[in-house]
Every structure is written in structure tokens, then in C-alpha cells.
Amino acid sequence: MNTKEAAIQDEFDKIENVQERNAKILAAIDDASDGQIKSASSAGTNMIRRRIREEGFLRRILPPQLATNDDLNRVLEHDRPLIIEDMEPGQRGSKSIPFGDAADTEFYYGNKYAVYFNPITTPEFTKDINELRTYKMDLRQVVTDNALKDIETEEDTQFINTVNTICGPSNGVGAGGIQQNFTLTGGFERDQYVEVLNGLENVYLNNGVILMNRRTAKNFLKWGRDEIGGDLAEKLLTDGLTALTEAKLFGIKHLFTIKRHLVPDNTVFVFAEPNFLGKFYELQQTCMFIEKKKDILRVSARETIGCTVANVLGCQQYYFQP
């Protein structure tokens, strides 16, 4: 967004009346020449929603970092952008030796992995400018909010598909060469949940984030005072999941998502801390483009990101058998 567009955006933000704001937006569109006219931002609206769209959970598991052209690497095979990152090498531990003996000789090599980039885009939404004149809701919200959250849903989809591949089949061997997908019998009980907390620690990693859907999380509401302790049991009864401040349980951050098509019922994903899991880069942050040609507006959002789970031992999946 250039200086002139930013100034116009600031003027729009100062207007509290939605219809007045829409009139100014339409006036700016009418006065604009053909071509890209601005990058849009989201804003409040009084329209009735059809369903909830939530922000992505990938960005809370692996916080994104901004990448620049200087960070990119070149390879012989193709021209696509990527970043080659270093990874801690594996090495043998120390051992006791008798006096007069010498240490073993071991050569070490720095391990590397690549973060590949690809774009994510919405469809190109097309609308006649004159049809927008009848709207009473915030026009920016109409063309931006849902599209931006849909992009993050696609991020989550690709991430979970990768994690499912890494964890492998239930009670089978995962990409790390050990079992990473577990079925726990006996239901969602506290004793069973302790096994979830132990999983990553068994491979010398800390629990970073635990992900489940809201329906699964409601099993915590079934735990009594003797299992939870203190007044939290009463707060869960009266306030539901909102009683879990920042969704922190057992000292571990929990994420409760509505995306049951990605995170199934009675399924829990456990992730290591970001520095022990992988990298998430934004080469081009999400941007909404609005293009005008005569009386037709074409609207689309696009981003270019790269995400790699480098330490495949850093994620596990658990299914609670009812």
C-alpha cells in the first residue's frame, strides 16, 4: 500500500458509520483508474454470519518468520525459491575410559534441510461495482475477512496432511523410525492423558503445543473435582472451556479448534517447541488485491509461504478409544 492509499485507508478507519464509509469507498473506486487500486484490510461489520471461521492453528504451533530475497538459496535443479537451514547433527555421547586410554575418533557432519515455498491464493472474485452500492455492511469485510481466514485454513490443511504422513498408521512406525501414532483404550481419562504428556519426553523433547478439536476438549468437562483439584472443576461446570485461561493445562499450551474435518474427534496432536520442530517462513505476506476494469472489480488474496517439519520426531498423534 503506497502513501496515498494509506492516507485514504486512515480516513476510512476514522468513519464509524458503515454506510458513510461504504459511500467513500465506492467514491474512491469510481475515481480510481483501471488496474490495481489498493490492498484491503479487514474491519468490523454488522452483517449476519453463516458460520464461524477461525484463525489458523499452524501459526500458533510454528510462528511464522518473514523471509527476504537475501535469505533465499539457489539450487541446480530448478528456479523455485527455497531456504536451506542447518540442523543439529547427531553424535555419540561421552563415555568413561581407563587411564592411559585415548578417546575414540568420530567425524561429524552438519545436517541440513530445505524449506520450499509455494503460493496460496483465493479464487478471483468478480463483482459489478454498481451491485456493491446496495450493501449496508462494511464492503471491506465482504471481500477480505472470509478470504483471509480461508487462506489460513488451507495452511492448516497442508500442515495436518504432512503431520499425518509423518506420524504414520495407528500403532505403526512413523517417519522417525519409531511409533508416533498411538491408540489409547479406556476413554479420555486423566491416567490416559498422562501418557500423551509423556510421549515426546520419551524421545528427549519438551511438549510445546497440544492440538485437539473443541468436541474432544469438552472431555475435560467430565473430569471431577478429585481429578482436576481446587475450584477449577466448578469453573469448568459454570464457564465451560473458557475457564481454561489461555487453554493451559499441565503447564502446556492447548489449542482447541473447530476444524473437525482436519482434527478428528477423540484425536490429539502433540508438537514439540518451535525450535525443536521446524520452520515457517512468509516470503510474501497475505495481501488482498482489488483490480478495477471499467465497472468490474476483481478481488483475490495471495501469499507465498514455506513450512517444513524438520525434526520428524517432534510430532505425535493419539486416538482415545471410547
DSSP for 252-274, please give it.
Answer: EEEEEES-TTTS-TTEEEEEE-G
Q: Which helix (H) or strand (E) holds 11?
A: helix 3-14
> Looking at residues 39-47, what average pLDDT do you find?
44
The answer, yes or no, to whether residue 187 has pLDDT greater than 90, is no
pLDDT of residue 70: 96
Q: Which tens digit of pLDDT belongs to each residue from 52-71?
A: 778 899 999 999 999 999 99
User: In b/e form, how buried is each residue of 230-253, taking b as 16+ CB within 10 angstroms?
Assistant: eebbeebeeeeeebbeebebeeeb
**DSSP secondary structure letter of residue 127:** E
pLDDT of residue 21: 65
Place 300 in a pLDDT band, splitting at 50, 70 and 90: confident
Of the candidates 260, 261, 274, the one whose C-alpha atom is nearest the C-alpha of residue 308 is 274
Q: What angle do CA 259, 264, 270 make, to 5 degrees?
A: 90
What whole-number distance in Å separates Cα of residue 34 and Cα of residue 46?
30
- Range in 23-27, 32-36, 297-301 the model is least confident about: 32-36
Domains defined for the chain, CATH in brackets: 163-279+309-321 (3.30.2320.10)
Give, in order, the Cα–Cα distances in Å from 150 to each of 42, 104, 112, 163, 261. Answer: 14, 55, 32, 20, 14
What whole-number distance in Å separates Cα of residue 199 and Cα of residue 207?
9
What whole-number distance in Å separates Cα of residue 60 and Cα of residue 19?
36
Q: Specify whether the CB–CB gap between 309 and 278 falls below 8 A.
A: yes
The answer, yes or no, to whether residue 192 has pLDDT greater than 70, is yes
- Range in 80-89, 159-168, 215-224, 265-274 the model is least confident about: 215-224
Q: Specify whether the CB–CB gap between 303 and 88 falls below 8 A.
A: no
Q: Which helix (H) or strand (E) holds 25?
A: helix 18-31
What whole-number distance in Å separates Cα of residue 57 and Cα of residue 39?
25
pLDDT of residue 14: 45
pLDDT of residue 159: 98
- Range in 83-97, 166-180, 207-221, 298-312 the model is least confident about: 83-97
More confident residue, 251 or 155: 155
Q: Which tens digit of pLDDT belongs to each residue from 145-183?
A: 778 889 999 999 999 999 999 999 999 999 999 999 999
Q: Specify whether the CB–CB gap between 255 and 63 falls below 8 A.
A: no
pLDDT of residue 139: 65
Of the candidates 48, 29, 47, the one whose C-alpha atom is nearest the C-alpha of residue 38 is 29
More confident residue, 28 or 161: 161
pLDDT of residue 236: 54
More confident residue, 251 or 159: 159
Q: Which tens digit of pLDDT belongs to each residue from 228-249?
A: 655 555 565 555 455 444 577 8
Q: Give the bridge partners for 86, in sequence order.
A: 112
Of the candidates 294, 300, 297, the one whose C-alpha atom is nearest the C-alpha of residue 127 is 297
At a CB cut-off of 8 Å and minimum separation 6, what does 198 contact? Answer: none
What whole-number distance in Å separates Cα of residue 230 and Cα of residue 115?
46
The answer, yes or no, to whether residue 184 has pLDDT greater than 80, is yes
More confident residue, 304 or 245: 304
What whole-number distance in Å separates Cα of residue 92 and Cα of residue 85?
22
If you average pLDDT over every residue of the chain, what do you get? 81
The answer, yes or no, to whether residue 12 has pLDDT greater than 80, is no
> Looking at residues 111-126, what average pLDDT do you find?
93
Query: 3-class SS at 5?
Result: helix
What whole-number distance in Å separates Cα of residue 156 and Cα of residue 56?
6
pLDDT of residue 245: 44
What whole-number distance in Å separates Cα of residue 152 and Cα of residue 263?
15
Which runs of consecutive H residues, i.e. helices, occur in 106-243?
Answer: 129-132, 139-167, 190-199, 214-217, 225-228, 232-239
Place 292 in a pLDDT band, splitting at 50, 70 and 90: confident
What whole-number distance in Å separates Cα of residue 151 and Cα of residue 147?
6
Q: Give the bridge partners for 125, in sequence order.
A: 299
